[in-house]
Amino acid sequence: MDTLNIKINGRDYTVPTGLTVLEACRYAGVEIPTLCYLKDINEIGACRLCLTEVKGARGMVAACVYPVDRDGMEIVTNSTKIQEARKTNLKLLLSNHDKKCLSCVRSGRCELQKLCNDYGVDTVDAYKGAMNQYEIDDSAPHMIRDNNKCILCRRCVAVCEKNQSVAVLGANERGFNTHIGCAFDQDLWEVPCVACGQCTAVCPTGALYERDETDKVWAALEDPTKHVVVNPAPSIRATLGECFGMPIGTNVKGKLVAALHRLGFDGVYDTDVGADLTILEEANEFIERVQNGGKLPIITSCSPGWIKFCEHNFPDFLDNLSTCKSPQQMFGAVVKTWYAEKNGLDPKDIVVVSIMPCTAKKFERSRDGQSAAGVPDVDVALTTRELARMIERAGIDFVNLADEEFDAPLGITTGAAAIFGATGGVMEAALRTAVETLTGKELESVDFKEVRGTQGIKEATYNVAGLEVKAAVASGLANARELLNRIRRGEANYHIVEIMACPGGCVNGGGQPIQPANVRNFTDLKAIRAKALYEEDANLPLRKSHDSPVIKVLYDEYFGKPGSHKAHEVLHTHYQPRETYGKDR
């Protein structure tokens, strides 16, 4: 039987088999509130907010995990008894919650706050009693953990363990003293956290959030001695609109540029230039390794969360990593060297602000080997969310802004760079350049569709000038772990591998706009956002990085050719093995 006839709140519905009560109720247009549920990865029935009545079942059932498995099932979702129970649940949560909503980073976008409002919680101190007090963990460069606001939904634990296989977060102690933390209550930066920030993107409250560095940017913008340039990453244009209520997957490139102009940056450039440059260097590195018997597979190095993960967990693969800096760092390095020279600026007086989908970029910019001009390549890495906060604070009417263009010269980019923001995009961009370089012929089609899509691991083989090039793409670190283990065990072999730390790539990065779980669970965020980038790629006149006029100028004027001595000095970096737990991280 493919369908079941059931009753929801007294009305008849026909629903497909294999659904949970929560999913079936969506067919009836009824949304059941949840706090802990994350589809596929956190189906633990812990928050008890989704309790519903199912006729014949003992007590109330957790809609998020209870299967609709029989014809004639009768579900009630909104009786006063249920409402009262949910209200009591929320009041209990509030009784051990730091209720400083007015100063909370998530105020207005907090799932707990919304539910309290929906259920008419009329008092925040219905239950007086002990409250746990926790120290705020600000040890990590990319994020803050404030357990005083944690409601123990464990969504962070689930993404960290299941999606990322990093598993540095878990429940410590028990009962009323249960709290989320690292093993033995170590600080986050004492354990092998990779800074991906996926936990911050799924936290329903203000317990986990990006380290806000907007003040540094405001200060720089006001400082007349500073030349402040900004560059948003490829994926920002596909997501920023969500912060202003626009539909998911809207490309807001023009408005983004207009807003950055209004914030007062001296140069509004595009990280995509850094991406194009990365492709030239990486394709060259790949070809060299293939031709000179270098270490294969070459593995991409654009994703700093992935890099740290590799350093902790797969130190034997460090030589496989491309030595190329990431687009953010290449962009910053070019600004502090070539751009500085060209404009007669002292690199010390330039402030490079990047807008990133990623919390790990905050960590990446402080790494060793990321200071081409003797000063850090990048000074501030803001997440999409922080930029939205700046735009809001500046009173910019984002939604109604007229489109504007990036500034010259670092604003002309290609479709190859645009797709960097999605899993498979770096691979496809590299293949466009590598294939043309190896064959010396122009590609008939620049579309490498086999490596597109949101699957966790993708494989493809391309015949390039007589060589069967085997490629693999993984996104989400659990998938990366799986892929690397296959390679380690000798079960698979590739020439080139692309890895992005976040599932689906940068469009689903840890610094991207937060979508509440009720959206996240039933919308493929990463697919819809990626679509905007592939559309941008299809519509751009230039779709191959080596066709970019800016890139040509950079090599003609400054670097000579890809892989040159100068290029190595400015555009490449190195890695270090790190312990998982214990000494010498």
Q: Which of 9, 78, 83, 96 binds another protein (CB under 8 A)?
A: 96
Structural contact between residues 554 and 562, judged by C-beta atoms closer than 8 angstroms: no
Residue 186 sits in the site that holds another protein (CB under 8 A): no
Q: What is the distance between the alpha carbons of residues 534 and 416, in angstroms, rounded to a whole number?
A: 9
Q: Report residue 443 as tokens.
A: 């590609």
Q: Decide if residue 45 touches another protein (CB under 8 A).
A: yes
The residue type at 286 = F
Binding window for another protein (CB under 8 A); candidates: 174-182, 250-258, 422-430, 482-490 = 174-182
Figure out which of the listed residues 31, 125, 135, 173 binds another protein, where binding follows CB under 8 A. Answer: 173
Q: Is 441 helix (H, G, I), strand (E, B) or coil?
A: coil
Supply the DSSP symbol for 446: -
CB 143 within 8 A of CB 359: yes
DSSP state string for 194-248: ----HHHHH-SSTTEEEPP-HHHHHHHHH-TT-EEEEEE-TTHHHHGGGGGTPPT
Nearer to another protein, 48 or 389 (CB): 48
d(Cα 32, Cα 522) in Å, to the nearest integer? Answer: 13
Q: Does 165 bind another protein (CB under 8 A)?
A: no
Region from 54-62, 101-109, 508-516, 537-545 binding another protein, contact rule CB under 8 A: 54-62
Could you say whether residue 62 binds another protein (CB under 8 A)? yes
Q: Burial level of 459, CB count in 10 A (0-12/13-18/19+)?
A: middle
Shortest separation between residue 65's beta carbon and another protein, angstroms:
5
| 271 interacts with another protein by CB under 8 A | no
**Cβ 89 to another protein, closest distance in Å?**
6
Minimum distance from CB of 190 to another protein (Å)? 21
- If binding is defined by CB under 8 A, does position 67 make contact with another protein? yes
Using omega within 30 degrees of 0 as the cis cutoff, is the peptide bond preceding 16 cis?
no
Question: Of 90-98, 332-340, 378-386, 541-549, which segment contacts another protein by CB under 8 A?
Answer: 90-98
**In terms of CB distance, is 125 or 319 closer to another protein?**
125
Q: Are strands 61-62 and 51-54 parallel, antiparallel or unpaired?
A: antiparallel
Would you say 424 and 452 are in contact if contact means Cβ atoms under 8 Å apart? yes
Q: Which is nearer to another protein, 86 or 362 (CB)?
A: 86
Judged by beta carbon, residue 87 or residue 211, the one nearer another protein is: 87
Distance CA 208, CA 144 (A): 6
| Interaction residues for another protein, span 339-378 (CB under 8 A) | none
Residue 492 lies near another protein (rule: CB under 8 A): no
Q: Number of residues in contact with another protein, rule: CB under 8 A?
A: 35
End-to-end CA distance of the chain: 55
Q: Which two tokens stand for residue 285?
A: 């590195």
Among residues 89 and 163, whose Cβ is nearest to another protein? 89
Q: Which is nearer to another protein, 50 or 298 (CB)?
A: 50
Residue 47 or 352: which CB sits closer to another protein? 47
Question: What part of residues 437-456 is at the interface with another protein (CB under 8 A)?
Answer: none
- CB-nearer residue toward another protein: 65 or 540: 65
Q: Name which position in 1, 56, 108, 174 contacts another protein (CB under 8 A).
A: 174
CB of 170 to another protein, least distance (A): 7
Q: Interface with another protein by CB under 8 A: which range of 89-97, 494-502, 564-572, 574-582?
A: 89-97
Q: Burial letters for 302-311: b for 16+ Cβ neighbours within 10 Å, e otherwise?
A: bbbbbbbbbb
CB of 47 to another protein, least distance (A): 6
Task: Give the Cα separation of 212 and 52 in Å (integer).
Answer: 39
Residue 40 interacts with another protein (CB under 8 A): yes or no: no
For the bound state, the minimum distance from the C-beta of residue 225 to another protein, rounded and expressed in Å, comes to: 53
Which residue among 4, 8, 51, 290 contacts another protein (CB under 8 A)? Answer: 51
CB of 64 to another protein, least distance (A): 8
- Which 100-159 residues touch another protein, going by CB under 8 A? 127-130, 151-152
Binding residue for another protein, selected from 178, 186, 437, 455, defined by CB under 8 A? 178
Q: Tell whether residue 44 is a contact of another protein (CB under 8 A).
A: yes
Binding segment for another protein among 93-101, 207-215, 239-247, 432-440 (CB under 8 A)? 93-101
Binding to another protein by residue 89, rule CB under 8 A? yes
Task: Return the sign of the alpha-carbon dihedral for residues 530, 278, 514, 217.
Answer: negative
Three-state DSSP class for residue 7: strand
Asked whether 235 and 421 are in contact (CB, 8 A), the reply is yes
Per the document, the length of the chain is 585
Half-sphere exposure of 285 (CA within 13 A, CB side): 28
Q: Contact 251/237 with Cβ under 8 angstroms?
A: yes
- In a 13 Å sphere around the CA of 189, the CA atoms on its Cβ side amount to 12
CB 484, CB 476: distance < 8 Å: no
Closest by alpha carbon to 168, among 153, 151, 187? 187
Shortest spacing between CB 35 and another protein, in angstroms: 9
| Residue among 58 and 583 whose Cβ is closer to another protein | 58
171 binds another protein (CB under 8 A): yes
- The nearer residue to another protein, 51 or 474, going by C-beta atoms, is 51
Q: Single out the residue of 28, 76, 92, 124 in contact with another protein (rule: CB under 8 A).
A: 92
Interface of this chain with another protein, residues 289 to 348, rule: CB under 8 A:
none
Contact 537, 416 (CB under 8 A): yes
- Token pair 């900004």 is found at 230
The encoded tokens of residue 418 equal 């645009």
Among 21, 41, 60, 277, binds another protein (CB under 8 A): 60
How many whole angstroms separate alpha carbon 578 and alpha carbon 310? 9
Tell me if 38 contacts another protein by CB under 8 A. no
Rounded to 5 degrees, φ, ψ at 459 are: -130, 150
Residue 175 within binding range of another protein, rule CB under 8 A: yes
Q: Which of 152, 7, 160, 156 is nearest to 72 (CA)?
A: 7
Interaction between residue 177 and another protein (CB under 8 A): yes
Binding site for another protein (CB under 8 A): 43-49, 51, 59-60, 62, 65-67, 85, 88-89, 92-93, 95-96, 127-130, 151-152, 170-171, 173-178
